[in-house]
Amino acid sequence: MKKIFAYKNTVSLLVLLLLGGCKEMFNESDIKTNPNAVTDVDVATLLSGTLVGVSELHEDTDVRISAIWAGALNGLSRQHQGYADYIVSAQNFSWDPLYPVAGQARLIQIKADAAGDKWTKGVGQILETLLIAKATDLYGDVPYSQAFDDVKYPTPVFDKQVDVYTALQATLDDAIKNLSATAGLSFSKQDFIYGGNVSKWTKAAYTLKARLYLHTGDYTKAVANATLGINSTSGDALIPHGSSQGIDANLNYVFFKLNRPGDTGFDNAYIPTILQSRIGSVNTKTDETALYNHFITVGITGTGSLDPNVVDGAFTLDAPHPLLTYYENQLIIAESQARLGSNDKALAALNLVRSSLAGGYMNGKTFAATGRKYDAYVLDDFGTAGLANITHKTTVQTALLYEIISQRYISFLMQYEAFNDIRRLEKAQPVVQLPIPLYAGAKKPERFIYPQSEINTNPNVPTPILDQFQKLPIYQ
């Protein structure tokens, strides 16, 4: 269960044969007209390979770029310094392997249908949603409705972002329906996320629905779905890692420690700033010292450098990495309830997260007890003279929102959801934002640029090509 990347050898040939890119989907001669013609690969094996792909795509370069553009990480050298300077072009981005792995998720559903296997189909639909959501969250309008039939749609259209979101919600609704079937085929040996636990996958689907509703500002539906979502840390969807480099190692560790030490770090990033503001402050109910040390260690790549903690913290060789979590689920409820005017319900959800943090839990690991304090808040703490109103907001609602947003930002370190938040909060009402400084220039990045390979081969790419400073449609 822990050695997830051991599945690579089993499925690498499959990946190469089936999946070459958004435009090259199912392009081998023996399957070009019928993806189901791949009869020698069972759906369970395909599931394991797809989970590997989904895992890699949540720890990849795109996630690091998003962390830099959210101000949580800084690019200090070589290519990543360019990202911190917001200097990018279409050559910096790629849909390989994002769309190929999404194609595998769709193929899981085709094969599961053929086998009458609703449970595995439901998981395939959740994986497809995770991947297409990443695509639209980073790029805006993207291919979806025509993305997986290379014969009929060799140059797929780009669906409007709002339509992609609507379609993803429908896909998740169907996934939940499939997972609620009274019986299905077991996939416990191939499922290194939940071990074949259908109930946990169902809760994850509701949390993912809540995430997407939060993005589009439908707070009532966000609350309704999160209420059915991941309801304890034992339900976290975590990518497990082990101690074998090249097999099951945490990819953040591989990058920070082995491949590119010093290319990125927390020097002049906002994560140290926000954590330090919650250490020894007037907010006597909070002490983030232990979490600071869990994320950050000093002096690995240089004297006094603020480096990712690859020694004994969040980014060790075997550290799990989050896909969907209880913390995110509760903070969706907290923010949504606050925006709906239910401060008491918002505070209750926030305090549930703080209670778990007080126990030292963060994404499958436990951080130190010394310097760890998360006492429960009361609403008076967010009044004009309240100890948690450190930025002197004029209302309890906005002060509480600031605390919730701060907790989300900290919890989402090295997840692209932090970049979603930064852009989303420019529009969400009432407007409450973190004072994250820009690394370069007067504008901050708002989107990834369509990959050059797609521009070269697909005449349906929207024109003119929008640069990295143009807002996504759902955040305009």
Question: What gap in Å lies between CA 121 and CA 125, rounded to an integer?
Answer: 6
**Please, are residues 133 and 166 in contact by the beta-carbon 8 Å criterion?**
no
Specify the pLDDT at position 40.
62
- The token duo for 250 is 């945490």
Per residue in 81-131, pLDDT tens? 999 999 999 999 999 999 999 999 999 999 999 999 999 999 999 999 999
Run means of pLDDT, 10 residues per run, the chain, 476 residues: 36 39 40 45 92 98 98 97 97 97 97 95 98 98 96 97 98 98 89 97 99 98 98 98 91 97 98 97 97 97 97 98 98 98 98 98 98 98 97 97 98 98 98 96 95 98 97 97
Q: What is the pLDDT of residue 17?
A: 34
Cβ contacts of 28 within 8 Å, gap of 6 or more:
17, 18
Here the tokens at position 23 are 């435009």
Contacts (Cβ under 8 Å, ≥6 apart) of 60: 251
| Local structure of 322: helix, strand or coil | strand
Among 18, 424, 363, residue whose Cα is nearest residue 216: 424
CA 307 – CA 298 distance, rounded (Å) = 6
pTM of the complete model: 0.92
Euclidean distance between the first and final Cα of the chain, in Å?
42
Domains in the chain: boundaries: 230-441
* Contacts for 147 with CB less than 8 Å, ≥ 6 apart: 22, 25, 99, 102, 103, 132, 153, 156
Give per-residue pLDDT as tens, 5-22. 333 333 443 443 334 344
CA distance 300 to 260: 13
Task: Report the distance separating Cα 248 and Cα 317, nearest Å.
Answer: 9
**Mean pLDDT of all residues belonging to the chain:** 92
Rounded Cα gap, residues 74 and 438, in angstroms:
11
Q: Where is 191: in which H helix or E strand?
A: none
Domain boundaries 230-441, corresponding CATH code? 1.25.40.390
Return the exposure string of 338-371: e unless at least 16 CB atoms fall within 10 Å of the residue's CB, then b: bbeebbebbbbbbbbbbebbeebbbbbbebeeee
Fill in the DSSP letter of residue 438: P
Instruction: Please list, in sequence order, all residues whose beta carbon lies within 8 angstroms of the beta carbon of residue 203, skipping any fewer than 6 positions away.
Output: 228, 229, 230, 231, 235
Q: What is the predicted pLDDT for the residue at 309?
A: 98
